[in-house]
């Protein structure tokens, strides 16, 4: 049989409107897809069909041909022969219209020649419902609409006519062509530059051969220009010529029923022409007029394949709703729609990489432990370049202006996220670096302390700071994102340096405190020794008269406080020197040093005061007084121990020695300098608090009478070593002790006599 498919199988009529979710298959679309049905509804599954046929990823590498012509002129039959499609054709018995609406199918003929370059790929064919079918009342309307649709999408319009219709100017075909020309002009009103030319390919059927092809061709061309001249052209296009918009090609086929072999032979030749690529028309071997290539670049509608379903639907929507079909606007709308869609598609992979990193960072921040993510830079760079490349590959085929804008939008969107990642990474690096720096300095100080405090604090800080800066730069370099304008860390580095400075200042303050403690300890031990020594001298009563054994200035009880004050100020002065040298070595500021010295003097005074209190504690001082007394009482001027004889003036010596020692008590009671018999100038010596003293600096300081005025304690009080009660008490106890010694001396004198 000549008919491949008597009718379109009824199952098919519904299947492409199957609910989404049903697994679409190639079998389901074996007859192609009904893009527009008899109710002028656009098929929502066009995209599925084009996916199945692998057209979607083809970019511009596809072609679209539509066939036009009266009903039952063998259009579907022709397409099936040329492209191996399976459009429904009328059975010879029924003679009923078969093709309804507009069908589309991919070329199914595979070339025997596997030369991909010379073969046009991805040919889509649209079989348009025949015109002049009187079965449908509103044919003129559908004819117009389908012509508009075909012109807006197709590169080639095959016009299928019987030979005997050629030259019948009044015939249905001419009405059809008039419609085609009119709607084509309508498309050009908006923008005559961007709309492609169309190839009108006349296929003359049942060519008997008596009229040569060239005659038929001329007749048709004359008819065409006649139609063109009668068209009322829109404003601005009055002088336009038919070949501004159309190219023409002609071909004749023998009678299919009467000359079946010749028919098949010719149709086979023709099929080659349709499947030939742009590249080399000569290769087809058809060197006559008919060898001109069918698919020229200028016919292409420049709708990327993945945008075709949306574009076609948009165009159809405008057409059915009788709106002005404005192709440039349609293409911009399509570009917006597709660019947004492509954005969403490419963002999926971006999210897969970036979202987990964002989550990890957020988690770290939530736990208060921002982490420096390993491999973040590489991931960001790859994600960014990949998404922009993918977007470009798919979206740059669309309207340039829209594409550029959408690309900027996408870049802005991803860069906002990448920048946030970048910033958080830098702030994590900052925090980690500052922590590391602080603990490294502390550790080095600790180990220096173990080795005897001879460490160089300034050096420790400098070298750890250099390490910290290098590490930060390394971390920052690692997250730089190529091509991103925000990808710079200079400001962050400056901030980091500032943070390190702050920590350094804090660490230096700690170090100052440690230094102060060490110096105070030294003062305590020195004063403990030297002040103890001065008090011990009280134990020798011959201080004033006895010749010194070691060349020292004779110790007199009278200038005890002068000596203590002198030894105290000398000691502190020397401590101040040590403190200043060391503090300067680690870049302490003059203000910090000043405060440190002021604190040192105050604390040292406290140390001295405590030492004095310890020395005058009842037991201690009583022992010294007793020694002092005994020295005077039991030794003669030359320091020789007395052997008491009853004739000795024990009582006189006792009284003299006792009175001499007793005079020490009021002397001890107040810290006074001999020359002025006034307290030492403690307030002046300590000085007032430096201007830069903070409340923290004052926190642990004990108040000093006469220095801290608002303490309500005078310098006199500060300098009181023994109060009157204590003094009285001491006197009584001392006398008792002296009395004991006296009684003992008396007894020994008598005993010496009796022995």
Point out which residues bind Mg ion (CB under 5 A): 75-76, 99
Q: Quick one: 204 or 593, whose CB is closer to ligand GDP?
A: 204
Contact (CB, 8 A) for 52 and 29? yes
- CA–CA separation, 579 vs 512, rounded Å? 9
CA nearest to 542, candidates 655, 619, 633: 633
**Nearest-angstrom CA–CA distance, 654 and 651:** 5
Looking at the Cβ atoms of 166 and 372, the one nearer to ligand GDP is: 166
| Residue whose CB is less far from Mg ion, 76 or 198 | 76
Return the one option of ligand GDP, Mg ion, none that residue 507 interacts with (CB less than 5 to 8 A, by type).
Answer: none
**Residue owning tokens 């709308």:** 333
Backbone angles phi, psi at 39, to 5 degrees: -95, 15
Exposed e or buried b per residue across 637-670, where buried means at least 16 C-beta atoms within 10 angstroms of its C-beta: eeeeeeebeeeeebeebbeebbebbbebbebbbb
Which DSSP string do the residues of 411-470 spell out, in sequence order? HHHHHHHHHHHHHHHHHHHHHHHHHHHHHHHHHHHHHHHHTTS---HHHHHHHHHHHHHH
Minimum distance of ligand GDP from residue 156's CB (angstroms): 17
Residue 139 or 247 having the CB closest to Mg ion: 139
**Closer by beta carbon to ligand GDP, 216 or else 468:** 216
Q: How far is the CB of 292 from ligand GDP (least distance, A)?
A: 23
Backbone angles phi, psi at 166, to 5 degrees: -65, 130
73 binds, among Mg ion, ligand GDP, none (CB under 5 to 8 A by kind): ligand GDP
Contact 278, 61 (CB under 8 A): no
How near is the Cβ of 175 to ligand GDP at its closest, in Å?
16
Q: How far apart are CA 222 and CA 212, in angstroms?
A: 16
Residue 14 CB, nearest distance to ligand GDP (Å)? Answer: 21
- The DSSP code sequence of 301-328 is ----GGGHHHHHHHHHHHHHTT----HH
Could you tell me the smallest distance in angstroms from the CB atom of residue 88 to ligand GDP?
A: 7
Q: Which is nearer to ligand GDP, 90 or 512 (CB)?
A: 90
Residue 268 interaction partner, one of Mg ion, ligand GDP, none, beta carbon < 5-8 Å per kind:
none
Phi, psi for residue 101 in degrees, rounded to 5: 65, -140
For residue 210, the minimal CB distance to ligand GDP (Å) is 16
Closest to ligand GDP by CB, 10 vs 368, is: 10
Q: Give 99 or 284: the residue with its C-beta nearer to Mg ion.
A: 99
State in angstroms the smallest separation of the CB of 213 from ligand GDP. 16
Choose the one of ligand GDP, Mg ion, none that binds residue 406, judging by a C-beta under 5 to 8 angstroms depending on kind: none
Q: Which residues bind ligand GDP (CB under 6 A)?
A: 2-3, 71-77, 89-90, 92, 98-99, 130, 205-206, 255-257
Six token digits for residue 390: 């993918």
Give me the least distance between CB of 299 and ligand GDP, in Å please: 23
**Nearest CA to 535 among 618, 432, 612, 481?**
612
Q: Choose from Mg ion, ligand GDP, none: what does 43 bind? Cβ within 5-8 Å by kind.
A: none
Crossing angle (nearest 10°) for helices 376-395 and 400-450: 180
Residue 144 touches which of ligand GDP, Mg ion, none (Cβ within 5-8 Å per kind)? none
Within 10 A of 73 (CB to CB), how many other CB atoms are there? 23
Determine how many CB atoms are found less than 10 A away from the CB of residue 261: 8
* Cβ 185 to ligand GDP shortest distance, Å: 27
d(CA 538, CA 555): 8
Per DSSP, which regions of 70-172 are E strands? 102-106, 123-128, 156-162
Nearest residue to ligand GDP by CB is 74
Secondary structure letter of residue 542 according to DSSP:
T
Query: CB 53 → ligand GDP: shortest distance, Å?
Result: 22
Euclidean distance between CA atoms 72 and 357, whole angstroms: 64
Nearer to Mg ion, 133 or 314 (CB): 133
Nearer to ligand GDP, 139 or 345 (CB): 139
- Indicate the residue among 36 and 468 with the shorter CB distance to ligand GDP: 36
- Least Å from the CB of residue 106 to ligand GDP: 18
Minimum distance from CB of 7 to ligand GDP (Å)? 10
Q: Which is nearer to Mg ion, 8 or 479 (CB)?
A: 8
The Cα 298–Cα 279 span in angstroms is: 14
Q: Which is nearer to Mg ion, 145 or 624 (CB)?
A: 145
Q: Which is nearer to Mg ion, 7 or 556 (CB)?
A: 7
732 closest CA partner among 649, 684, 662 = 662
Our CB check for ligand GDP shows the closer of 81 and 561 to be 81
CB-wise, 258 or 674, nearer to ligand GDP? 258
Radius of gyration of the chain from Cα atoms? 57
HSE (side-chain half, CA atoms, 13 Å) at 739: 6
**What is the longest distance spanned by two Cα atoms in the chain?**
186
Other CB atoms closer than 10 Å to residue 709's CB: what's the count? 11
Taking the CB of residue 266, how many other CB atoms lie within 10 A of it? 18
CA–CA gap between residue 58 and residue 566 (Å, rounded): 101
3-state secondary structure of 388: helix
In the complex, minimum distance from the CB of residue 128 to ligand GDP, in angstroms, rounded to a whole number: 9
Rounded to a whole number of angstroms, the minimum distance from the CB of residue 157 to ligand GDP is 15
- In whole angstroms, the minimum distance from the beta carbon of 353 to Mg ion comes to 51
Pick what 721 binds: ligand GDP, Mg ion, none; C-beta below 5 to 8 Å, kind-dependent. none
Q: Name the CA dihedral angle for 697, 702, 708, 710, rounded to a multiple of 10 degrees.
A: 100
> Considering only CA atoms, which of 539, 754, 512, 506 is closest in space to residue 626?
539
Smallest gap from residue 160 Cβ to ligand GDP (A): 7
Cα–Cα distance between 175 and 49 in angstroms, integer? 33
């Amino acid at each position: 049989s000549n008919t491949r498919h008597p009718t379109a199988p009824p199952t098919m009529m519904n299947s492409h409107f199957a609910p989404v979710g049903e697994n679409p298959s190639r079998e389901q679309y074996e007859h192609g897809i009904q893009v527009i049905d008899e109710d002028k509804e656009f098929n929502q599954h066009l995209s599925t069909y084009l996916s199945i046929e692998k057209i979607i990823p083809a970019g511009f590498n596809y072609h679209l041909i539509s066939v036009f012509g009266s009903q039952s002129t063998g259009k579907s039959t022709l397409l099936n022969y040329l492209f191996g499609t399976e459009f429904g054709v009328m059975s010879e018995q029924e003679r009923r219209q078969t093709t309804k609406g507009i069908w589309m199918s991919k070329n199914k003929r595979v070339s025997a020649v596997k030369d991909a370059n010379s073969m046009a790929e991805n040919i889509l064919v649209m079989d348009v419902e025949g015109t002049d079918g009187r079965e449908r009342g509103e044919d003129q309307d559908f004819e117009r609409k389908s012509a508009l649709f075909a012109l807006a999408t197709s590169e080639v319009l095959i016009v299928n006519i019987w030979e005997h219709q050629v030259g019948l100017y009044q015939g249905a075909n001419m009405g059809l062509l008039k419609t085609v020309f009119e709607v084509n002009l309508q498309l050009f009103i908006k923008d005559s530059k961007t709309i492609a030319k169309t190839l009108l390919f006349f296929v003359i059927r049942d060519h008997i051969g008596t009229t040569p092809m060239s005659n038929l061709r001329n007749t048709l061309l004359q008819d065409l220009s006649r139609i063109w001249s009668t068209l009322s052209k829109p404003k601005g296009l009055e002088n336009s010529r038919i070949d501004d918009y159309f190219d023409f090609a002609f071909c004749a086929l023998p009678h299919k029923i009467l000359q079946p072999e010749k028919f098949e032979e010719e149709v086979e030749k023709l099929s080659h022409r349709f499947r030939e690529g742009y590249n080399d028309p000569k290769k087809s071997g058809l060197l006559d007029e008919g060898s001109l290539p069918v698919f020229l670049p200028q016919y292409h509608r420049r709708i990327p394949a993945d945008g075709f379903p949306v574009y076609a639907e948009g165009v159809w929507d405008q057409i059915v709703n009788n709106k002005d079909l404005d192709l440039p606007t349609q293409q911009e709308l399509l570009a917006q729609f597709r660019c947004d869609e492509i954005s969403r598609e490419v963002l999926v992979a971006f999210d897969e990489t970036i979202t987990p990193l964002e989550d990890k960072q957020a988690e770290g921040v939530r736990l208060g432990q921002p982490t420096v993510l390993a491999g973040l830079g590489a991931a960001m760079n790859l994600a960014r370049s990949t998404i922009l490349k993918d977007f470009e590959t798919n979206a740059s085929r669309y309207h340039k202006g829209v594409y550029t804008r959408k690309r900027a939008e996408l870049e802005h969107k991803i860069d906002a996220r990448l920048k946030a990642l970048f910033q958080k990474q830098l702030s994590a690096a900052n925090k980690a670096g500052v922590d590391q720096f602080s603990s490294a300095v502390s550790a080095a100080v600790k180990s220096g302390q173990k080795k005897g405090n001879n460490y160089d604090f300034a050096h420790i800080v400098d070298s750890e700071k250099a390490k910290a800066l290098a590490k930060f730069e390394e971390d920052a370099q690692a997250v730089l994102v190529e091509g991103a304008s925000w990808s710079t860390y200079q400001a962050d580095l400056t901030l980091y340096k500032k943070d390190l400075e702050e920590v350094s200042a804090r660490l230096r303050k700690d170090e100052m405190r440690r230094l102060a403690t060490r110096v105070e300890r030294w003062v305590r031990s020195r004063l403990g020794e030297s002040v103890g020594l001065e008090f011990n001298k009280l134990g020798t009563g011959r201080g004033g008269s006895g010749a010194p054994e070691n060349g020292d200035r004779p110790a007199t009880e009278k200038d005890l406080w002068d000596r203590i004050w002198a030894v105290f100020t000398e000691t502190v002065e020397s401590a101040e020197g040590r403190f200043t040298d060391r503090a300067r070595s680690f870049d302490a500021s003059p203000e910090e040093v000043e405060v440190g010295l002021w604190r040192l003097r105050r604390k040292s005074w406290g140390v001295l005061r405590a030492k004095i209190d310890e020395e005058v504690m009842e037991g201690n001082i009583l022992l010294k007084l007793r020694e002092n007394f005994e020295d005077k009482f039991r030794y003669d001027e030359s320091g020789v121990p007395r052997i008491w004889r009853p004739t000795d003036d024990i009582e006189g010596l006792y009284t003299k020695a006792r009175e001499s020692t007793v005079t020490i008590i009021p002397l001890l009671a107040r810290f006074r300098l001999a020359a002025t018999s006034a307290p030492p100038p403690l307030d002046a010596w300590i000085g007032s608090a430096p201007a830069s003293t903070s409340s923290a600096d004052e926190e642990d300081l004990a108040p000093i009478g006469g220095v801290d005025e608002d303490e309500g304690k005078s310098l006199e009080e500060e300098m009181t070593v023994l109060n009157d009660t204590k003094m009285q008490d001491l006197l009584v106890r001392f006398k008792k002790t002296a009395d004991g010694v006296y009684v003992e001396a008396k007894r020994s004198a008598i005993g010496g006599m009796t022995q």
